[in-house]
Structure 1
Amino acid sequence: MTSEKLESMGEEDVKELLSDFLAQRKFLVVLDDVWKSSSYDKISKILSVLPDVNNGSRIVLTTRDMDVARHVNRRSSIHEKKLLDEKESWELLEKWSFPEYRDVSSADRSRLMEIGKKLAVKCKGLPLALVVLGGYLSRNLDYDIWSGLVGNLDWEARRNDEPFWKIIDRSYNDLPNHQLKSCFLYLASFPEDYVIRVARLCKLLIAEGLIPHRQNRTMEDTAREYIKELVQRCMLQAVERSKWHGSIKSVVLHDVIREWAIAEARREGLFNIWSNPTDCDQALSDSVTAYRVALHNFAGRTEINVAMPKLRTLLVFFNLPAVSVLCRLKFLRVLDLHGLTGIKLLPSGVGILIHLRYFGLKKCGYRSVGVPSSASDLLNLQTFDARGSRIRSLPRFFWDIPTMRHLYLGEVRRWVPPEVGWLGSLQSFYFCEKTQMRAVSGHMTVKERRLAENGNKHIARRNVKKWAALFRALEGMEQLVFLHLESWRTQRRTKWRGRVFSTQLLGSISRHRHLQVLELAGDWLCGVGQLSKLPHCLKKLKLIASEELNKDPMPVLGIHPNLVVLVLESAFKGNGMICHAEGFPRLRHLTFEHVGRLGSWNVEAGAFPSLTHLNLSVSSFPVVPPLGLFHVTSLQTLLLKQHPMDESSICLSPVGKLEERGCEVIIKRLG
């Protein structure tokens, strides 16, 4: 069941679903960071109706409130987390104060250790205080600074006896510039424990004007440097890193640090968080006005318009009932409606938001979203993100917005291709087309079948012309870093008479000097002969469902010098592959998903000198990693996906040899 469907269900329906799912099962339920006893009571009521609750199942609950822990059944055991002792405190502080990326001499390290142990004691065994302080010390490896802290950490709490409040103060004030401080506070506008995608965050920060222009650097690069800086200072936690260059993909802000940042942001007038209409009234009475608002589970409907007509930023983290009211907020620069399921049609007057720089419509429901023609008037728009949403139609001149840098269009039904010379500043382009084809079945009369087939031929010819025009326009988009093109027909049995040829596509991007990520998916893709035209700057290539890769693509792909990630998903129809010596010099991640009946795979010695991760799922039996992999000493992880029909489909002998060499082998059963 999808998360969208769960969100649309009522509480009683969710209870019934959970009860049915857990019935006759042994389960482990973890309730993390529970603040109220009622949260446990709701789960307890569901579990009480199960036919067998004494089958070894367990519930683990974590809380900071001892009253919540005592509220649970008396038979339950309470494990009270102890504070760290002096030795453990110093070990944790030392780890964060002297990270691996800092080159510290033995003499300097020894000189700082004595004073560092005194600072560790002052943290009173609190892990978060030690981590935050360690992040500060790692940026200030100076004996005088460390010594000065011993007398200045007075531990006078600002609230609730939290002794690390002063450490957060000091870490925040130590940030090198005002922009980085604002970026840190901006993170607190997201809900508690919200996993923030760095790509989305960077675009928001740029649209907000919080990222400065630097010579020979893109603002996206500067924004990522800011995020990396905050992670290294332990003010932000990295959740996921990129497979191909190790950069941070997602982050989360610790809830205690977030509370501090919310208070500081409100004091500085950076943003407000509203959960109900009374928050609007409070914002109007504040001495410092904030023109940025994040709505968290907001209960009001039109109060946002009445309260602050000059609002600059609106981040919505719930299902907003009234979308039309947004058009009255004429000064909006950032509007993010990520995940709203109730949107059917954007207001026709959306073009009045001429200051808009970021427009987020990602994953907005099951229904198609209509984009009105007035959207072409958003002449300051930098980012339009509608991935995971269905776009009913796209205005012709929407392509002609000169400031557009990141354009993500998901499941577009009706569209007109851009003209040559448009979107010259585009850095990211995601385009997914779903073509409606008429079904042709044996139950039709001869006349009906002929009409359907002729109609599908007409649609196919028209689509070929549109894609050809798009490819011509791509040639002028020389700033592209990311390109995802996807085209599917809804009637799978309908044959394409006018398939888009890959020659024009790859020819249009062969001279792009900045393109790093290329993802091609759908019913038309490139043949092996055209893969040599891929730009050599490419670092990630993903091919999905190609109908033309019936020849071995590995000899051609292996010569690309900068390729780091390669994914072939249902994209190879051949019987064998060969990877030549010295091929794929920088490839680190290789994935084969459903590549067909792979009869043989020969890996010559010297191939894949940098390979660290291999994911393999094929239809052939048995699944045997090629012997040439034993020459790849860099391999760290091998994931083999096994078909459930054959328990012996994986040959364990060569796998065991890889394990002996230190490679982690994971075997996953499919189905």
Structure 2
Amino acid sequence: MAEAIVSVVVERLGDLLLQKATSLHGVSNQVEQLQDALKQIQSLLKDADAQQNERESVRQWVADMRDVAYDAEDIIERYALKVGSRKEGGIQNVLKRISTLNSSLQNYGIKFDSMEAGGPSSLSEKIRKQRQTYAHVEPDHVVVGLEDNLKEVVACLTEEVKYKYRVVSICGMGGLGKTTLARRAYHHPQVQSHFNCHAWACISQQCQIRDVWERVMIGLISPSKDQRDEIRSLRDEELAEKLCEVQRQKKCLVVLDDIWKVEDWNSLYAAFPMNDANSRILLTSRNEDLALQVDPRGPRHKLKFLNDENSWELLQNIAISWRSEDNSNIKEEMRFLGKDMVSYCKGLPLAVIVLGGLLATKQTLAEWEQVHRNVKSYLHQQKDLGISMVLALSYDDLPSHLKLCFLYLGHFPEDFEIRTKELIQMWMAEGLILQTGSNKETLEDVGEQYLKELVQRCMVQVGKKSSVAGIKTCRLHDLMRDFCVVKAKLENFLHIINVNHESNEETEAPIGEVRRFAISGGSSDPMSFGFIFSSTSQKYFHLRVLKITTNDPDRQSGPFREVEMKSLIHLRFLSLRSTGVRSIASLRNLKCLQTLDLRTTDWQFNLPNDMFRNMEHLRHLYLPRFSKIRGKLQLPNSSKLQTLVNIPVFICDVEDPTVGFDEFGKNLMPSNFTFNCLHVLKISCPRDKRVDITPMVTSCPQIYQLRLWGKIEKLPEHDKISPHLAKLSLIDTDLEEDPMLILEKFPNLKILYLGYKAYTGKKMMCSVRGFPQLQSLILDHLTNLEEWEVEEGSMPSLCHLKIEYCWDLRMVPDGLQFVGNLQKLEIVSMYSSFVARLGEGGQDFYKIRHVPSLEVKNTISKNRGVRRYRLEPLRKPEN
């Protein structure tokens, strides 16, 4: 991983040389020398990284070089920010350290000859042999949880009329049972009788193309000794051609087990004709993208985790020794311990198998209790079939930049839903995302691709999805997170501190200087905080990422009520979300900030009007819902801004080059000014008067997410708003004219939320061909709405409709019967008379009978006198 860190540092030094020529005046030559020196050691580090686990001396050398790279970056950044020494000594000292480390390779006993020649290390070769699979080797336990998958795979392989796929793939995280499923399908009687010949080849991470072709050929034709010799004497192109010929002439099944890289398939491809419908290829891979590229039309079977019942059944099939106890009370106690331990496996079959194999050797209750106390360490320490070894294969296969991004996930607690946007912003702040050279692709775009690749490699799980931004949240499987934390600490990338000492995430002492900490816990303290940050010392001077949270955001006292952080000038990411912080005047010094999240829970937030003026790198700004601002709020160069949330009305005065927000809503913005990078805009309007938001919205041609909160004069015409708009929320806008006449013309609108008093009229109309891409529509607290008409052909893509607190609405529109894609209809807090019409036999049942899911909550009777209650928004929209 040191090679990855050096690569990132080299990239940053190059950026600094381009962007900070003035700031680096007098030391630019030294910076170039430093960059060249680091480039020279990159190839050595790539080889040394592979040998770390085998030799302590190599590990020490790698750790030293890693620290040098970090120190180099820190020194140059201090120069760029004009806060470091103006002498050249710092850079020269780093160059001397690099030279010393290079010259001391022999003292460390490091030799790279075999590695540079491309030969695998002894450890990787040992792992490869352990991972070798064979078709005839059956598992020594009963397989559970794969029955449905087996039926699907067998059908895809054998039913030629229904399925004419060339390639069938099985994908999933390491340890889910891909090889087991492939082996069961391979030996299934229906498959054996359907194909004339069969072959099995294990690819593994060190793919030997010639060896694979020979094994497949031998498996398909069962050659004599002379024929085997002939096969081995063929040139590569001759062997590939003969393999193709065999598969065209016969019905062949070829299993390619454990294939990792698209490049490997591209090398193997020549021997497997893709236009032949009689023969089939069954492949297993941890990489979903590989399966997609091999055959975009072919079915991909993504294995799921076992449920609790199947996990317990599998454990019992392996660890049967608990039945040998005669005492029924002891049996029951062992059963209780077993169920508790298997829950830690989180449905990963490999983990259950490892645990079961361990328990099978334990005969007494006392032994089971000992395993129960240390189940976490036992699972990861099993050497022959260790979970860590299996998961490490996925990690080792990552490109260097993704290794850093993966290890960064160790910051987040167990079972934590990680916000994708926030994660990518943290990656950016740490410099883990590299520019691609494309002017159109932002760092955020690259970060999304990084995350998607981790998902495709089955190392990260998708949480919630967003039709606007793809992956909304993500998470790590508990066992994958355990591996991540251990690996991150071993690599000196991250140190976890739990102040409650409830979980032990300690590993062996790190070599070198610890640079990142994640502090969590303290749940019993009303002012509990969590931190995620980088640091080179206890003074945290080089802090890049700081996230503070508290379990009691409403508490009105505490050390972070007035945050003082003016010395943290290296900060790129700062989140004080929900901390209750009221004043942060010291943030003026944070020139490097890219993301600033101030969405606190306080209703009165003191916001200095010039606080952001010097933040020239600011990209994502989240303000509190309500702020006290005196004068005009000034922002830096707006060309980099991508997210503005809770902005108080209008942008003005952009000539200086600051951007201002006038608390009185006066529009002074030049007509030719545009925010070309702004993607997310959420505006807060005054409560006491209507304002014209057209100039502001028109100036943002690239936005795909827009929220308007407060009274506005009118909606801008559809051709005045970005054609990229995908999500729109209107809350308390108090529109008197039907907004659907404009909104239905947005070509890419997918999500529409009309919240509390967004529209005050009585009738709403959706025309034919309106809302061509709309997928989700929520009508909430439109209390004057009586009639809603939907013409046939409107909203053809609508999947989800929610109606709540629209008490005067008489019925659902007749046109819903023509919305064939509607999958879910939610009716919340509506009158019982309205709901009765939707039931079977009701007047409106024919309109929604095709909808698979109808959910009704909180039905209200008219005699309850709901009109006497003050209307408030049912939900507070996301900040």
* Aligned match for 1:483, one of 681, 694, 710: 681
Q: Give runs of aligned pairs for residues 72-111 of structure 1, distance below 5 A.
A: 84-85=143-144, 88=147, 91=150, 106-109=165-168
Q: Is the 8 Å Cα contact of residues 332 and 353 (structure 1) preserved in structure 2?
A: yes
| Displacement after TM superposition at 1:348 (Å) | 6.5
* Aligned match for 1:337, one of 544, 548, 552: 548
Partners in 2 of 1:187 and 1:420 — Cα distance?
32
Distance 1:418 1:424, change over 3 A: farther
Q: Please tell me the residue identity of whatever aligns with 1:477.
A: F
Q: Give runs of aligned pairs for residues 188-267 of structure 1, distance below 5 A.
A: 188-214=410-436, 215=438, 216-244=440-468, 247-267=470-490
User: Residue in 2 aligned with 1:620?
Assistant: 807
Q: Is the 8 Å Cα contact of residues 674 and 699 (structure 2) preserved in structure 1?
A: no
User: What TM-score do you get using the length of structure 2 for normalisation?
Assistant: 0.51
Secondary structure of the corresponding residue to residue 350 of structure 1: coil
User: Residue in 1 aligned with 2:619?
Assistant: 405
1:20-47 residue CA offsets vs partner (Å, 9 max, x unmatched): xxxxxxxxxxxxxxxxxxxxxxxxxxxx
| Displacement after TM superposition at 1:289 (Å) | 2.6
Greater Cα radius of gyration, structure 1 or 2: 2
Distance 1:543 1:425, change over 3 A: same
User: Residue in 1 aligned with 2:754?
Assistant: 568
Q: Is the 8 Å Cα contact of residues 153 and 168 (structure 2) preserved in structure 1?
A: no
* Aligned match for 1:392, one of 605, 610, 617: 605
Secondary structure of the corresponding residue to residue 384 of structure 1: strand
Secondary structure of the corresponding residue to residue 856 of structure 2: strand
* Aligned match for 2:628, one of 414, 419, 440: 414
Q: Is the 8 Å Cα contact of residues 486 and 520 (structure 1) preserved in structure 2?
A: yes
Distance 1:587 1:344, change over 3 A: farther
Secondary structure of the corresponding residue to residue 815 of structure 2: helix
Q: Please tell me the residue identity of whatever aligns with 1:291.
A: R
Q: Is the 8 Å Cα contact of residues 520 and 529 (structure 2) preserved in structure 1?
A: no
Partners in 2 of 1:265 and 1:91 — Cα distance?
37
Partners in 2 of 1:470 and 1:262 — Cα distance?
52
User: Residue in 1 aligned with 2:745?
Assistant: 559
| Displacement after TM superposition at 1:623 (Å) | 4.6
* Aligned match for 2:595, one of 378, 383, 387: 383
Q: Is the 8 Å Cα contact of residues 369 and 389 (structure 1) preserved in structure 2?
A: no
1:545 and 2:732 equivalent?
yes
Aligned Cα root-mean-square deviation (Å): 4.5
Q: Is the 8 Å Cα contact of residues 521 and 530 (structure 2) preserved in structure 1?
A: no
User: Residue in 2 aligned with 1:174?
Assistant: 397
Partners in 2 of 1:135 and 1:597 — Cα distance?
62
Partners in 1 of 2:427 and 2:575 — Cα distance?
13
| Displacement after TM superposition at 1:166 (Å) | 2.7
Q: Is the 8 Å Cα contact of residues 599 and 624 (structure 2) preserved in structure 1?
A: yes
Q: Give runs of aligned pairs for residues 128-207 of structure 1, distance below 5 A.
A: 137=259, 142=265, 158-160=380-382, 163-175=386-398, 177-207=399-429
Distance 1:119 1:89, change over 3 A: farther
Q: Is the 8 Å Cα contact of residues 483 and 519 (structure 1) preserved in structure 2?
A: yes
1:534-560 residue CA offsets vs partner (Å, 9 max, x unmatched): 33321111000122x112111111112
| Displacement after TM superposition at 1:484 (Å) | 0.8
| Displacement after TM superposition at 1:602 (Å) | 1.4
Secondary structure of the corresponding residue to residue 468 of structure 1: coil
| Displacement after TM superposition at 1:221 (Å) | 1.2
Partners in 1 of 2:634 and 2:685 — Cα distance?
20
Secondary structure of the corresponding residue to residue 708 of structure 2: strand
| Displacement after TM superposition at 1:663 (Å) | 3.6
Distance 1:244 1:613, change over 3 A: farther
- Aligned-pair identity in percent equals 26
Aligned residues: 508
Q: Is the 8 Å Cα contact of residues 268 and 288 (structure 1) preserved in structure 2?
A: no
Q: Please tell me the residue identity of whatever aligns with 2:389.
A: K
Secondary structure of the corresponding residue to residue 480 of structure 2: helix
User: What TM-score do you get using the length of structure 1 for normalisation?
Assistant: 0.66
Distance 1:108 1:135, change over 3 A: closer
Secondary structure of the corresponding residue to residue 402 of structure 2: helix
User: Residue in 1 aligned with 2:691?
Assistant: 501
Partners in 2 of 1:300 and 1:275 — Cα distance?
13
Q: Is the 8 Å Cα contact of residues 339 and 361 (structure 1) preserved in structure 2?
A: no
User: Residue in 1 aligned with 2:529?
Assistant: 319
| Displacement after TM superposition at 1:516 (Å) | 0.7
| Displacement after TM superposition at 1:397 (Å) | 2.1
Partners in 2 of 1:469 and 1:573 — Cα distance?
26
Distance 1:481 1:221, change over 3 A: same
Partners in 2 of 1:204 and 1:91 — Cα distance?
41
1:352 and 2:567 equivalent?
yes
Distance 1:234 1:535, change over 3 A: same
User: Residue in 2 aligned with 1:44?
Assistant: none
Higher mean displacement: 222-231 or 399-408 = 222-231
Q: Please tell me the residue identity of whatever aligns with 2:518.
A: A
Distance 1:551 1:354, change over 3 A: same
Give unmatched runs, 5+ long, in structure 2.
1-140, 158-162, 185-204, 206-255, 270-281, 286-349, 355-378, 650-660, 861-879
Partners in 2 of 1:135 and 1:617 — Cα distance?
52
Partners in 1 of 2:770 and 2:390 — Cα distance?
51
Partners in 2 of 1:556 and 1:622 — Cα distance?
21
User: Residue in 1 aligned with 2:638?
Assistant: 423
1:661 and 2:850 equivalent?
yes
Partners in 2 of 1:281 and 1:659 — Cα distance?
53
1:294 and 2:518 equivalent?
yes
1:176-207 residue CA offsets vs partner (Å, 9 max, x unmatched): x2111111111122111111111111111111
| Displacement after TM superposition at 1:583 (Å) | 1.1
